[in-house]
Amino acid sequence: MGETPKTTVSSKSKIQNRMTDIAVIGAGMAGLVCAQQLTQAGYSVIIIDKSRGVGGRLATRRLHDTKADHGTCYLKPKGEFLQRLINLLAQKGDLEVWTDNLHVKNHGSSLAANAQSSLPYTAPEGMNVIAKFLAQGLEIHRGERVKSINLDSQNQWSLISESNEKFTVGAVVVAIPAPQAVMILESLSGNLLSDTFLEKLRSVEYYPALTVMSGYPDSIEQPEWKAITFKDNPVLGWIGLDSSKRKNPIQPHFVIHSSADFAEKYFESEDLEKVGREILENAAINVNLSWLNNPEWIQVHRWRYAFPKTPLQQSCLPADISSPLVFCGDWCGGNLVESAIVSGIAAAEYINSKLQQRELPGINFLDVL
C-alpha cells in the first residue's frame, strides 16, 4: 500500500491536562479531511473516535484469511476533490479500476448490463486504505466515545469520553452522523444552542442497512458479473463479488447489502444470522445462483446510519455560539463521498475563520501526504 502511515494512534490516552486547539469528533472521511486541513495550517488537532479503526463506512473486515469491504464498496471519480484523491491513490497502486460494467436488476425483470460513464475504483487491500492514507500524520484517539460536551469557566470546550477521559480544546468539529451528534449535545448545559439549530440537526434522518458477507468453496462456478444493484427489491439493495477485488483470492466471497425497508424491519433482530440467511436466500433466487444460499461461512453487520435520507442543503452546520463549534459529514450538502470531503473542508474553513485565520491548503492538502 505505499508508505507506512505516520498516524499517531492511541486509545485510553492520559491527556487530561494538555490544551489542544481543536478536537474533531469522528474519524470518517469528513473528520479526516477537516483535521488534515487544520493540522497542515499549524493548529494542534486531535481526533476522537469510538471505533477501533478509521474511515467510518470506508470499512474493511478481516475474516477467514481474507478481507471484505462491508461498507463503501467502490468509488467513482465524481467531483474535483474525489477525482484528485482517486488519481493519487491509483498512481500509488492503492486503487485500481474494478470493472467496466456494473449490472442492474429491476424487480421482476432480468439482469441488465449498465455501461459506466465513470469507472468504479476499488482497493485490492481493502477500501479502508483510503482512510489510512488520509489519517497520515494525525493524532487519533481510537476507542473513545465522547459522551458529553460543555463549555468550562474559561470558555473552553470540555469533552468527556465514556472512559472518563477529559479533552480540553478551544474549538470542536463534530463529524459524525447527525443523530449521534444530537445525543452528544443533550449534555450541553443551558440554552447555548437555539431551537432552530437543534431542529435542523434533528431533521437529518438516515436509511439503515444490513450487510451480509459470505464465503464459498473454490470449486463453484463464479458469475461473470462483478456487482448488481437491485431496483425496487423489497429485500436486496446490492450484491458484489468482493473476492474479485483481491489479488490471489483464497476463495470466492460476496458482500450483499439489504434494502433500507428490509433493514428497518429486521434491524433489531436478536438472531442476526437468521436474517442474513434470509437475505442470502433472496439473493440466490434473484441472481439464479442456487449455491449462494449454502455458504461455508457467513457474517452480518448492522449499519444504523448507512445513507443520509434527508441531508441538509449546506456544506456544514456552524453553531451560533461564542466558542467555535461546527458539524459536518456526508449529511451536509448531499449523501456521497464527495459531499463528505467538501463538508470537511468547509468545516475547517469555518473553524479557521473563528481562530487565527491562517492559510488553509484546500484541495492541495493531498500533495503532502
What is the C-alpha to C-alpha distance for residues 253 and 292, in angstroms, rounded to an integer?
A: 10
CB atoms within 10 A of CB 36: 26
Helical H segments across 186-235, by residue range = 195-202
Q: How far apart are CA 324 and CA 83, in angstroms?
A: 31
Given this model, what pLDDT does residue 200 score? 95
Q: Where are the domains of the chain?
A: 8-56+131-205+310-368, 98-122+206-308
CA gap 314, 345 in Å, rounded: 13
pLDDT at 7: 53
Predicted pLDDT at 257:
98
Q: Tell me which residue has cell 456494473.
A: 102
Q: Which DSSP state fits 312?
A: B
| pLDDT tens for the chain, residues 1 to 369 | 344 344 555 544 444 445 799 999 999 999 999 999 999 999 999 999 999 999 999 999 999 999 999 999 999 998 899 999 999 999 999 999 999 889 999 988 889 888 777 899 999 999 999 999 999 999 999 999 999 999 998 999 999 999 999 999 999 999 999 999 999 998 887 788 989 999 999 999 999 999 999 999 999 999 999 999 999 999 999 999 999 999 999 999 999 999 999 999 999 999 999 999 999 999 999 999 999 999 999 999 999 999 999 999 999 999 989 899 999 999 998 878 999 999 999 999 999 999 999 999 998 999 989
Which residues in 78-117 are b (16+ Cβ under 10 Å) and which e?
ebebbebbbeebeeeebbeebbeebbebeeeeeeeeeeee
pLDDT 10s digits, 7-48: 555 544 444 445 799 999 999 999 999 999 999 999 999 999
Looking at 3.90.660.10, 3.40.50.1820, 3.40.1190.20, 3.60.60.10, the CATH number of the domain 98-122+206-308 comes to 3.90.660.10
Domain pair 8-56+131-205+310-368 / 98-122+206-308, same fold? no
What is each CA distance from 322 to 42, 124, 194, 259, in whole angstroms? 22, 46, 13, 43
What tens digit of pLDDT does each residue of 66-85 get?
Answer: 999 999 999 999 889 999 99
Helix, strand, or coil (residue 70)? coil
Cα 180 to Cα 196: distance, rounded to the nearest angstrom: 18
**pLDDT at residue number 131:** 97
Report yes or no: 66 and 218 within 8 Å, Cβ to Cβ: no
Closest residue by Cα to residue 141 from 17, 50, 56, 42 = 50
For 284, list phi and psi in degrees, rounded to 5: -60, -40
Q: What residue spans of the chain are helical by DSSP H? A: 29-40, 80-92, 128-134, 178-185, 195-202, 260-266, 272-286, 337-354
DSSP codes, 130-155: HHHHHTTT-EEEET--EEEEEE-TTS
| CATH architecture for the domain at 8-56+131-205+310-368 | 3-Layer(bba) Sandwich (3.50)
Rounded to whole angstroms, the Cα distance separating 145 from 161 reads: 5
Q: Which amino acid would we find at residue 291?
A: W
Q: What is the pLDDT of residue 18?
A: 58
- Rounded Cα–Cα distance for residues 290 and 305 (Å): 31
